[in-house]
Structure 1
Amino acid sequence: MAKQKKQPRPKAETPKGFRDYFGHEVTERQEMLNRIAEVYRRYGFDALESSGVETVEALGKFLPDVDRPNEGVFAWQEDDDKTWLALRYDLTAPLARVYAQHRNDLPTPYRRYAMGPVWRNEKPGPGRFRQFYQCDADTVGAPTVAADAEICGMLADALETVGIPRGDYIVRVNNRKVLNGVMEVAGVLDPSDPDKFVTERGIVLRAIDKLDRLGEDGVRALLGEGRKDESGDFTKGAGLGPEQAEIVMGFMAARREDGPATVAALRGLVQGSTTGESGVQELEIIAELLDGQGLGPEQIIIDPSVVRGLGYYTGPVFEAELTFEILDEKGRPRQFGSVAGGGRYDDLVKRFTGQEVPATGISIGVDRLLAALRAKGRVDGSSQGPVLITVMDRDRMGDYQKMAAELRGAGIRAEVYLGNPKNFGNQLKYADKRDCPLAIIEGEDEKARGVVTVKDLVLGKKLAEGLSHEEWKEQPAQEEIARGNLLAYVQEKLG
């Protein structure tokens, strides 16, 4: 009888394009999200938590990376009814489904914010993951561009609240109607047949959206026959002729020294297009509303280069860019770049209801914003661990757990060492790995005298270099206190 082949052990590794998040990373993210949520609540927005899985039909086909399987989503087919399901690729498409399903029970306008992971079946790369966090705020049911202006102001408020000071960011605003007018003039949009040239328009949108990364030559290549990247991969272009491409390039270069001058330049580009002229007028109104909120050009500007890649935007679009410099992996200075984007999408709910429902919103890239805060020194990439109750006697675990309960009851993080207590040095090594600020010691002698010894591990790290064992015992990073004073002492040490 042939010997059965032994099943190989699975590899302990994360799938390509995914990563794990540990203690301080999760804590920093949650603290930042809490501050953003407070801003959203001040503006009157309510929280919403929707399903991480939607039907493919409900999600629609709006992802920019359309050459990936299943239009860029992770999808599977149910065995019973053959329905295709997919992990959500953003938080906006699920909102459209939620509003359509519950609209009779929701107020109009409906103002909601949502935070959570999304998944995209995209080609991963440095800093580009297939699972990432988003933080959204949207207003559904408000046709006025005052809702768009409010979203932009709220975004600026949120960035400053989490620690991005004025002058280190800029919110750029444009209008997809203006771009549609430009594409109409350029001959790649037919108002009488919206489906005509739809593929070409999608490529144009993605090309413009990559201006900062690819430069003018790269965008021109994508507007034309296509572009080959450094890896040799070829991206098919929109197939525009030189004159058509120059009209689009002129649109991206229409930004002037101030908002009124930019709007005037855009108006000249869209002459003859009703849609384009409507978009220019909306930009004028938004500029007036932002000025009324006290938001100047050092915070928010009109910028034609902003188009946003997703295909469901129908009006104003906006993007928050961080303007301070960082060093890339090769030590070269570069600007940090975009951390948030959004816009108006009046047709998304219509897919469910048959009736146009105006909507607008913003999405913050959580990981990007956290990386920016680390670069600015607003978060240090570390967090304080719990107070450690060391174990000197296995038979007195009840006493140690009581100490921990006292500290926890006062809101202090605390834990009892649950490894092998035989080697006390290993307990202190554990405390060091956990970044514990204090270690509490109560052996038989301390118990008999009604005292505990407290090691200040933070101060100890600073003092330990160059100290002998005897000097260590005498230095102020270790104190003996009455057991009854433990809570008050720990509270004082932790500030």
Structure 2
Amino acid sequence: MAKDKKAPRPKAATPKGFRDYFGAEVTGRQRMLARIAEVYHRYGFDALESSAVETVEALGKFLPDVDRPNEGVFAWQEADEDGQGDWLALRYDLTAPLARVYAQHRNDLPTPYRRYAMGPVWRNEKPGPGRFRQFYQCDADTVGSASMAADAEICAMLADTLEAVGIERGDYVVRVNNRKVLNGVLEAMDLTNDAQRDAVLRTIDKFDKVGEDGVRQLLGKGRKDASGAFIDGVGLTDDQAGPVIAFLTSRGESATETLDNLRGAIGASVTGAEGVQELEQIAALLDAQGYGPDRIVIDPSVVRGLGYYTGPVYEAELTFEILDEKGRTRQFGSVAGGGRYDDLVKRFTGQAVPATGVSIGVDRLLAALAAKGRTETVERGPVVVTVMDRSRMADYQAMVAELRQAGIRAEVYLGNPKNFGNQLKYADRRASPVAIIEGTEEHERGVVQIKDLILGAEIARDATLEEWKERPSQFEVARADLVAKTREILESHG
């Protein structure tokens, strides 16, 4: 009789495009999010935690098709009696759920509704280096206000947030533009062919990479890229391309100069004039609050979500230099972006509802802080109470309880206590700052040994024999002084 084959063991690996986060990574993110939330809360925004799962219909952006129902999002169909249940999906951002929440609860919410949200989002896209299918976003939005004061406030709050988490002034700039100005430029070009308009928009989006000459060539006959391959251009004449070049190069020494240049780029376009006027209002409001060009600037080169945003758009760019994976120097780049999207809630209500907001890429911002040396790479572990006599576990648990009640992170060693050396190795692996030792002899005398593991490691690494004698790293104190001496050692290490 043949033996039944054993089921293969599951492979211990994360799915492609996903990763695990440990210790310092998790607490570092939580610490940063808490600082961001503090700024948002100070600005009057309320927290919102919406469902991680939405109907695909509500998400709207990535609708499933017959051949690839999971395109863009992680989606599945609910089973019902007829096999025709709703399509559900993990949220791909925090803005689409906000539109659904506002439409669903608008009668119970204040207008304007100011909310912030933080959490993971999921995208069923091809992963790459530093690009994962699950990542954190941190959003703040105002729904129900058409005032440019709402947009100016978002920009000011974004600047304050970057500084609150540790990005110093001078290491970032918030750049502001307006989609209406770009629409005005397209009107001034008098393009009637939709395909040509789309090609112009795609070319504008390449300005940061190819510069003025590159855009000029791509708007005309085309250009060779870095590999030597020829890229066909849009086919515009120099006169037709003129408004685009004027638009992209209109940034001046001041907001006033930039706005004057933009007026020249839009020609007689009413839409463009409205966009310039909105930028003028935002600039004046920011200036009144003390946000100068060292923090926030009007910059026509900002082009975001061309089919999504309806007015002002903004982007936070970190300006300090880092080395990329090939050792080349480059600027860190964008960590946040947003803008006005007045048509999103309309999908649910049929009525236009003005809205504006910003989204911070949490992982990008954490990477920026790490690049500036402003994150802890190793998290401080708990105080470890060692076990010298397993029959006295209750005594050791009492020590831990006292430490915890005093607000000190602590644990009892719960492994096999037979080998004391292994207990200290465990404490080292946990990055513990202090180890508590109480054997039978110490217990009888009413004392404990407190070992400063941080100082001990420094002495072992750097100190001479004489320095080691002068700087003891282990102290004997009365049992009643356990908490006080432990706190003293912890405070000595910050």
TM-score, normalization: structure 2? 0.89
- The counterpart of 1:114, out of the listed 109, 113, 117, is 117
Which one-letter code corresponds to 1:127 in the other structure?
G
Provide the secondary structure at the position in 1 that maps to 2:93: coil
Which residue is 1:288 aligned to?
A: 284
Match of 2:472 among 466, 476, 482: 476
CA distance in 2, matches of 1:46, 1:156: 19
SS of residue paired to 1:13: coil
Q: Once the two structures are superposed, what CA deviation does each residue of 1:254-278 show, in whole Å capped at 9, x if it has no partner?
A: 2222212211222222223221111
| 1:364 is aligned to 2:364 | no
- Change in Cα spacing, 1:237 to 1:71, as seen in structure 2 (3 Å) is farther
Bigger Cα displacement from structure 2, 393-402 vs 467-476: 467-476
Instruction: Name the CA distance, whole Å, in 2 between partners of 1:227 and 1:120.
Output: 33
C-alpha contact (below 8 Å) 1:59/1:88 kept by paired residues: yes
Give the Å deviation of 1:283.
0.7
Q: 1:403 aligns with which of 399, 405, 408?
A: 399
- Conservation of the 8 A alpha-carbon contact between 2:172 and 2:318: yes
Partner of residue 159 from structure 2, selected from 133, 156, 167: 156
Contact 2:208–2:301 (CA<8 Å) still a contact in 1?
no
Pair 1:46-2:46 in alignment: yes
Q: Does 1:93 align with 2:96?
A: yes
- Report the 3-state secondary structure (helix = DSSP H, G, I; strand = E; otherwise coil) of the residue aligned with 2:356: strand
> In the TM superposition, what is the alpha-carbon distance from 1:218 to its structure 2 partner?
7.0
How many Å apart are 1:9 and its aligned residue? 2.3
Q: Which amino acid aligns with 1:152?
A: C
User: 1:419 is paired with a residue of what secondary structure?
Assistant: coil
* Secondary structure in structure 2 of the residue aligned to 1:383: coil
Q: State the Cα distance separating 1:211 from its structure 2 match.
A: 3.7
- Asked if the contact 1:69/1:121 (under 8 Å) is kept, the reply is no
Cα displacement (A) at 1:70: 4.7
Alignment CA distance shift 1:423-1:360 (3 Å): same
Equivalent residues of 1:205, 1:308 under 8 A apart? no
User: Is residue 452 from structure 1 mapped to residue 448 from structure 2 by the alignment?
Assistant: yes
1:346, CA displacement in angstroms? 0.6
Change (3 A) 1:420 1:486: same
Query: What is the Cα deviation at residue 361 of structure 1?
Result: 0.6
- The 3 A distance-change label for structure 1 pair 455 and 239 is same
Q: 1:221 to 1:386 in 2, by over 3 A?
A: farther
- Does residue 263 of structure 1 match 2:259? yes
The 3 A distance-change label for structure 1 pair 22 and 399 is: same
CA offset digits 1:11-54 (Å, max 9, x no partner): 22222222211111111111111111111111111100001111
Q: Show the counterpart of 2:14.
A: 14
Distance 1:82 1:222 in 2: 47
Change (3 A) 1:141 1:226: farther
Q: Deviations over 1:216-257 (max 9, x none)?
A: 67767887899999999x9x9995646566643443222222
Query: What is the aligned partner in structure 1 of residue 172 from structure 2?
Result: 169
Q: Deviations 1:168-218 (Å, cap 9, x if unpaired)?
A: 110000001111222333455x7xxxxx83x77666555544543565677
Residue 338 (structure 2) aligns with:
342
Partner SS, residue 494 of structure 1: helix
Q: Deviations over 1:285-316 (max 9, x none)?
A: 11111111111111110111112136321000
Q: Does 1:462 align with 2:465?
A: no
Counterpart residue number, 1:316: 312
Q: Which amino acid aligns with 2:51?
A: S
Distance change in 2, residues 1:60/1:249 (3 Å): farther
Deviates more, 1:26-35 or 1:5-14: 5-14
The aligned amino acid for 1:54 is E
Q: Are the structure 2 counterparts of residues 391 and 413 from structure 1 closer, same or farther at C-alpha, using a change threshold of 3 Å?
A: same
Counterpart CA distance in 1 for 2:295 and 2:133 is: 31
Separation in structure 2 between the aligned mates of residue 90 and residue 237 of structure 1, nearest angstrom? 34
Map 1:325-336; keep pairs closer than 5 Å: 325-336=321-332
Under a length normalisation based on structure 1, what TM-score does the superposition of the two structures give?
A: 0.89
Give CA deviations for 1:384-408 in whole Å, capped at 9, x if unaligned.
1111111112222111111111111
For 2:216 and 2:378, the matched residues in 1 are separated by 44
Tell me if structure 1 keeps the 8 A contact 2:171–2:318: yes
Deviation by residue 1:94-128 (Cα, 9 ceiling, x = unmatched):
11110000000000011111111111222222222
1:200 and 1:447 map into 2 onto residues whose CA distance is: 85
Contact 2:279 2:312 in 1 (8 A): yes
Q: Please give the alpha-carbon distance, in whole angstroms, between the structure 1 residues aligned to 2:79 and 2:217.
A: 44
Which residue does 2:374 correspond to in 1?
A: 378
1:460–1:212 distance in 2 versus 1, CA, 3 Å: farther
Match of 1:193 in 2: none
Go from structure 1 to structure 2 and tell me whether the alpha carbon gap of 1:397 and 1:110 turns closer, same or farther (over 3 Å shift). Answer: same
Q: Would the alpha carbon gap of residues 221 and 469 (structure 1) be closer, same or farther in structure 2, given more than 3 Å must change?
A: same
Higher mean displacement: 138-147 or 467-476: 467-476
Alignment CA distance shift 1:239-1:419 (3 Å):
farther
User: Kindly tell me: are residues 59 and 186 of structure 1, through their superposed partners in 2, closer, same or farther at Cα, counting changes over 3 Å?
Assistant: farther
Count how many residue pairs are aligned between Structure 1 and Structure 2. Answer: 483
The letter for the 2-side match of 1:52 is A
Cα pair 2:45 2:114 within 8 Å, conserved = yes
Contact 1:62–1:310 under 8 Å retained in 2: no
- Structure 1 stretch displaced more, 391-400 or 334-343: 391-400
1:125 aligns with 2:128: yes
Over 3 Å counting, the alpha-carbon distance change for 1:163 and 1:296 in structure 2 is same
Distance 1:220 1:88, change over 3 A: farther
| Residues 422-441 of structure 1 deviation map (CA, whole Å, 9 limit, x = unaligned) | 11111111111111000011
Q: Is the 8 A contact 2:223 2:233 kept in 1?
A: no
Which shows bigger deviation, 367-376 or 179-188? 179-188
Q: Percent identity?
A: 73
Q: Deviations over 1:342-395 (max 9, x none)?
A: 000111011110111111011111111111112222223222111111111222
C-alpha displacement at 1:6, in angstroms?
3.7
- Say if 2:298 is the partner of 1:302: yes
Alpha-carbon separation, structure 2, partners of 1:470 and 1:7 = 63
Q: Mind listing any 5+ residue stretches in structure 2 that lack a counterpart?
A: none
1:139 equivalent in alignment to 2:142 = yes
Per the alignment, residue 108 of structure 2 pairs with: 105
Q: Which has the higher mean CA deviation after the structures are superposed, 276-285 or 256-265?
A: 256-265
Residue 10 of structure 1: how far off its partner (Å): 2.3
Residue 431 (structure 2) aligns with: 435
1:455 maps to amino acid: K
Question: RMSD between aligned alpha carbons?
Answer: 3.1
| Mapped contact 1:221–1:237 kept (Cα < 8 A) | no
